[in-house]
Structure 1
Amino acid sequence: MTIKNFYELGQEKIIGETEFFILIYDGFPVSPGHILIVSKEIRKDYFDLTLDEKKDLDNAILSAKRIIEKSFAPNGYNIGMNCGESAGQTVFHFHCHLIPRYNGDMKDPRGGVRHCIEGKGAY
């Protein structure tokens, strides 16, 4: 999906934006408030972002966090980017997930993103 496709969804889908990114609620949220931060220019992944875009990404993440906290009260967050097919990327237009986490949403959340490779997260 390209940024044109996001805009074609209608402005009502865009819940925020920064200089280089738009914010939308994830169409398949893994938790209440899950937001996608999508580059306005087509970039394959994080490593293809310009230096200015990388600097603005922090603004976009903080903006998304403020939006989430207007309606929800998460106890933590996961920030995720899939870079490359082997890492699970299926949409080759940069997007970052800001996933609110809530006490009790998993039996044992210890290790967080370390569990992206089955059986390797325990320490």
Structure 2
Amino acid sequence: MAAPDASCPFCTLPTSRIIMGNDVALVIRDAFPVSPGHTLVMPRRHVGSFFALEARERDGLLDLVDQARRELDMALKPASYNIGINDGPAAGQTVPHLHVHLIPRYLGDQPDPRGGVRWIFPEWADYWSAQAAPARS
């Protein structure tokens, strides 16, 4: 197992931030939420990529995603969720400790939420309307 990284904000979390956990992963609320209830699920081991997880870690991480969703369903009753991982700097990862974003979505929180995460490239996001971007070559 990799040792905690003293410079990593997720390896040095105060226990007061932890909402729930298991032997391989833990859950916190995002410090800069994009919606009410925005939650992060992360491995306890300092690892940067989802693809570097051991099978047991992946299972434990996804189990906590399910548990966190159930808790958010009961507490906040969102209509939907965005679930995402920024895996690597080119994907927008700013903290090099893997974390899954569980983002509750609410009816009316955006005028037109279609396309979801596709909007990271706005010119390719709208593929359903008459003004849709042309196919990539």
Residue of structure 2 aligned with 1:106, choices 107, 110, 116: 110
Indicate the SS of the match to 2:123: coil
Residue 57 of structure 1 deviates from its aligned partner by: 2.2
Aligned partners of 1:22 and 1:38 also within 8 Å: yes
TM-score, normalised on structure 1? 0.91
Structure 2 gaps, min length 5: 1-7, 128-137
Show CA shifts across 1:16-37 (max 9, x none): 1123111001000000011100
Tell me how far apart the structure 2 counterparts of residues 20 and 122 of structure 1 sit (CA, whole Å).
39
| Larger relative contact order, structure 1 or 2 (CA cutoff 8 Å, min sep 6) | 1
Aligned partners of 1:15 and 1:23 also within 8 Å: yes
Residue 2 of structure 1 deviates from its aligned partner by: 4.8
Indicate the SS of the match to 1:12: helix
Residue of structure 2 aligned with 1:59, choices 50, 58, 63: 63
TM-score, normalised on structure 2? 0.82
Residue of structure 2 aligned with 1:29, choices 27, 33, 39: 33
Structure 1 gaps, min length 5: none
Kindly indicate which of the two structures has a greater share of residues assigned to helix.
1
Show CA shifts across 1:92-118 (max 9, x none): 001110000000001110111121222
Show CA shifts across 1:30-71 (max 9, x none): 000111001100111211111111122220111111221232
Tell me how far apart the structure 2 counterparts of residues 112 and 48 of structure 1 sit (CA, whole Å).
26
Residue 47 of structure 1 corresponds to 51
**How high is the sequence identity, in percent, across the aligned residues?**
40
Tell me how far apart the structure 1 counterparts of residues 57 and 120 of structure 2 sit (CA, whole Å).
26
Residue 3 of structure 1 deviates from its aligned partner by: 4.3
Aligned partners of 1:2 and 1:42 also within 8 Å: no
Tell me how far apart the structure 2 counterparts of residues 116 and 4 of structure 1 sit (CA, whole Å).
28
Tell me how far apart the structure 1 counterparts of residues 112 and 23 of structure 2 sit (CA, whole Å).
38
Residue 13 of structure 1 corresponds to 17
Aligned partners of 1:80 and 1:98 also within 8 Å: yes
Moved over 6 A (4+): none
Indicate the SS of the match to 1:5: coil
Number of aligned residue pairs: give it. Answer: 120
Whichever of the two has the greater Rg, that structure is: 2
Tell me how far apart the structure 1 counterparts of residues 87 and 29 of structure 2 sit (CA, whole Å).
20
Aligned partners of 1:3 and 1:39 also within 8 Å: no
